[in-house]
């Protein structure tokens, strides 16, 4: 059984109160973690979801199966968003299949934990190629096809305001994404297209697990202590915030850096 959808079974939505009926969304990096939770949440709200992945075809297929099992609509599309040709194919396939695109969530990212002095040119290029460059050109493609009133969400990290040692390349790429958000919000404002950054705090994902392996054993407990709500976040905590931001109710919110981190400092 799918844990994310099953854990939310008490709030299954009826067609009369779904906020995203008729919308089509692309979620990059949607085969697991936060991306998966976003895709499933959108489907619960009535959206048709394009589940993008670079690797991990079997995981992406499981997300599609879970969504369809619960009555939603979804399609899996492989694309490496670091390649412009793949990006064009991703957006083109979405438009060809569904006739429109209303929402883009730039979630795909890679992670690097390495001291700045040890970071190689290859390390730097790999991180920025996906986290910054890929997202930049995904937004460019979205800007060309989104209708008036569309939505773009960029996933960043609340750690860009902290500056943890060893995360220079990763946090630098995420900070670039935050600047793209503010600029594009101004450029697309006349079309009522909103563009926002959601900065996720520590969240139970494979990325966090990878980071914790490089930190002292007590690091996770310290993260919890720094969070007023007293726990590590779950992917659905982030997905719920994003589901609101792409709804009509958030039409007056754009160009914002929104922390979804339980108040962690």
Q: Which residues are catalytic?
A: 170
Residue bearing tokens 């390390």: 123
Nearest by Cα to 180 from 139, 208, 214, 211 = 139
224 exposed, middle or buried (CB, 10 Å; 0-12, 13-18, 19+)? middle
CA atoms within 13 A on the CB side of 154: 36
Angle formed at CA 151 by CA 180 and CA 72, multiple of 5 degrees: 130
Q: Report the distance separating Cα 77 and Cα 230, nearest Å.
A: 37
* Contact call for residues 199 and 99 (beta carbons, < 8 A): no
Q: Report the distance separating Cα 225 and Cα 231, nearest Å.
A: 8
Residues 6+ apart with CB under 8 A from 119: 112, 168, 169
């Amino acid at each position: 059984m799918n844990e994310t959808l099953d854990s939310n079974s008490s709030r299954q939505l009826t067609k009369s109160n779904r906020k995203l009926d008729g919308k089509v969304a692309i979620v990059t990096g949607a085969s697991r973690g936060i991306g998966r939770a976003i895709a499933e949440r959108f489907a619960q709200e009535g959206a048709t979801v394009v589940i993008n992945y670079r690797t991990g075809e079997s995981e992406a297929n499981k997300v599609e199966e879970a969504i369809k099992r619960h009555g939603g609509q979804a399609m899996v599309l492989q694309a490496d968003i670091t390649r412009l040709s793949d990006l064009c194919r991703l957006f083109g396939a979405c438009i060809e299949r569904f006739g429109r695109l209303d929402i883009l969530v730039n979630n795909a990212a890679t992670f690097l934990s390495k001291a700045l002095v040890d970071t190689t040119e290859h390390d730097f290029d790999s991180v920025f190629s996906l986290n910054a460059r890929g997202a930049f050109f995904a937004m460019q493609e979205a800007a060309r096809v989104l209708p008036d009133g569309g939505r773009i969400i960029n996933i960043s990290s609340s750690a860009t305001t902290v500056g943890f040692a060893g995360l220079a390349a990763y946090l630098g790429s995420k900070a670039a994404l935050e600047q793209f958000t503010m600029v594009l919000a101004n450029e697309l404002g006349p079309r009522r297209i909103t563009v926002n950054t959601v900065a996720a705090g520590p969240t139970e994902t494979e990325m966090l697990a990878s980071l914790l392996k490089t930190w002292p054993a007590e690091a996770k407990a310290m993260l919890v202590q720094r969070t007023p709500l007293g726990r590590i976040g779950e992917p659905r905590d982030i997905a719920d915030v994003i589901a609101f931001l792409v709804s009509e109710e958030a039409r007056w919110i754009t160009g914002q850096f929104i922390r979804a981190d339980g108040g962690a400092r």
